[in-house]
Amino acid sequence: MQNRHLQNLKHKFGGDRRDPRRALREAGFADEAEAAAWGRGIVSDAGATELADVRTLRQARPDLSLRTATYILHQVRARSA
């Protein structure tokens, strides 16, 4: 059985070209709303930069690729607006 942190290794180093919604399901989220709710609990609303927020999301879930973490952050911001 693979370590969950290594599952997306191919996508992390080779580039993540998956559909973002599919990547969310593969990461264990039921849908965009669930991922956004999780992300809202991780990132602060203190006006941090996008880079800092993506870093925070990836520290909380190292198995997320850069593209998936960025997509979750965009969902968080879109639903918070």
- Indicate whether 22 belongs to any domain: yes
* Mean pLDDT along residues 15-33: 86
The more confident residue out of 16 and 71 is: 71
Has residue 3 been placed in a domain? no
Position 31 in a domain: yes
Q: Report yes or no on 76 lying in a domain.
A: yes
Residue at 68 is within a domain: yes
DSSP 18-76: S-HHHHHHHTT-SSHHHHHHHHHHHS-SS---HHHHHHHHHHH-TTS-HHHHHHHHHHH
Residue 1 lies in a domain: no
**pLDDT tens figures, 41-81:** 999 776 789 999 999 999 999 989 888 999 999 999 999 87
The pLDDT of residue 1 is: 39
- For 69, the domain range is 9-80
